[in-house]
Amino acid sequence: MSDQAGRSLADRLNQLFAAVRPTPRHEYSNEHVAAAIRESASDVSISQSYIWQLRNGRKTNPTLKHLQALAGFFGVPTAYFVEDETAGRITSQLAALAAEQARLHEASQGNDVKLMAMRAGQLSQEHRKQVMDLLDVVYRLEQAEREIRPHD
């Protein structure tokens, strides 16, 4: 039996929001998804509140056009929402994609740090001190933001 058996439409839709992201740290908003669908499919009317209701299980029987539009936005077959086997296959692919995206994100962050260090090494002592002072300010600002929003 597939681990997708018995999963609700809301579960499957939320799984897409969690896995398919514009950046590694942020999900698409319901409003963004609704606006993108309305722009790409002129015959599909969908609102952020309707997507919210689908995600929370308050609406459980969307039209085929809505399912097709949501599937199209997230790049999965429409069958993902109704077929356990398809959902299981797509879930595995999404997990592999998420792992690869995380690996690439970490690698790019490491490259950024190396590039900053290399460039700083080419500066005069006075300018390196200015860069360090600037980094200290940015670091303190980021720490303060994390205290305000600890879930980022």
Give dist(CA 98, CA 31) in Å, integer. Answer: 23
Cα–Cα distance list, 20 to 56, 70, 87, 94, 112 (Å): 18, 12, 14, 8, 24
pLDDT tens for the 152 residues of the chain, in order: 456 667 899 999 999 999 888 887 789 999 999 999 999 877 899 999 999 999 999 999 999 999 999 999 999 999 999 999 999 999 988 888 878 777 777 777 766 677 777 777 777 888 888 888 787 788 788 888 878 876 55
Scanning the structure block, which residue is given the tokens 């792992």?
99
Q: Which fold has domain 9-100?
A: 434 Repressor (Amino-terminal Domain) (1.10.260)
Which tokens belong to 6? 């018995």
Residue 98: DSSP 8-state: H
